[in-house]
Amino acid sequence: MSEKKTDGEILLDIRHLTHIFSFPKRVTVKAVNDVSFQIRRGEIFGLVGESGSGKSTIARCIMNIYRPCAGEIIYKGVNVCDLKQLRKNKRMLDTTRQLIFQDSSSSLNPRMKVCDIIEEPMRIQRTNPPRGSYRAEAEFQLYYVGMDASYLDKYPAELSGGQRQRVAIARALAMEPELLVADEPIASLDVSIQAQIVNLFRHLKKEHGFSFLFIAHDLSMVEFLCDRAGVMYKGELVETAPVKKLFENPQHPYTKRLLAAVPIPDPGRERARKGNRW
């Protein structure tokens, strides 16, 4: 990591974010309600909560896919909700923020080869490839996520779930982002593949100081990977704390309930706990 990037600098500041979906017949759903948190440089921030609690909506607001109804999202001093500032800093915002989706089979174009998929963001941004050609750059990124050059000319359908997720990560890394927003990147993978992807994230953070917003519902992975975590419940952020504190001493009753639902890989203890629950 270069000296200029000091740890602890606030990279992303979310202030009182609210997003409301409107449906016909005046039905509205408050998906995100007055949420505030910060992500520091070089930090992995975990966002947990059950499905429908608004985690993905926050990710999409950060990436300018949704326009929030109220609140501010300050990324590197730029308010991304302000269209004027957004236009002015478009290139910086487009290159330094990247999103990884949950379902890699639908977020990769099945008609494009792996090399085209990884090159696409570079072509769109017309970046100067530091390694000579776009293909060499794609090869480097692929190698970086643990796959060799033989995969460059394959189609996504020829890859396994874990490999596809790696390609999606390589595509995000091609722009050398500073903030990676990962929306349940491991939810659809096998346990042993999950471990590989989580190790990759750890490595990226340690060696390159990437900052992550890691969205998940698997608490044990969040405990292992993240520095700080926030718990979402029905659109509200009910608790934010360093991971260790959150798991050892949960404050909010919903956090306690969430922690109690994590299965323990130990039949004796799991059964003893079951007995208590009934």
Stretch 163-182 residues interacting with another protein (CB under 8 A): none
Is residue 190 near another protein by the rule CB under 8 A? yes
Is residue 263 at the binding interface for another protein, with CB under 8 A as the rule? yes
Q: Give the distance, in angstroms, between the CA of residue 72 and the centroid of all CA atoms in the same chain.
A: 19
261 belongs to the binding site for another protein (CB under 8 A): yes
Choose the stretch contacting another protein; rule: CB under 8 A; options: 38-46, 85-93, 119-127, 268-276: 268-276
Partnered with residue 264 across adjacent β-strands are none
Binding to another protein, residues 201-220 (CB under 8 A): 202, 217-220
Cβ-based nearer residue to another protein, 49 or 121: 49
| Cβ at position 29, least distance to another protein in Å | 14
The nearer residue to another protein, 5 or 203, going by C-beta atoms, is 203
Residue 257 makes contact with another protein by CB under 8 A: yes
Question: Shortest approach of another protein to residue 96 CB, angstroms?
Answer: 27
Q: Is 195 in the site for another protein (CB under 8 A)?
A: yes
- Residue 128 lies near another protein (rule: CB under 8 A): no
196 binds another protein (CB under 8 A): yes
- In the range 222-251, which residues lie near another protein by CB under 8 A? 223-224
Mutual angle of helices 114-125 and 134-144, in 10-degree steps: 120
Mask: binding to another protein, 16-55, rule CB under 8 A, as x and -? Answer: ----------------------------------xxx---
Give the residue, chosen from 91, 123, 245, 269, that forms a contact with another protein under the rule CB under 8 A.
269
Footprint of another protein on this chain (CB under 8 A)? 50-52, 160-161, 190-196, 198-199, 202, 217-221, 223-224, 257-258, 260-271, 274, 277
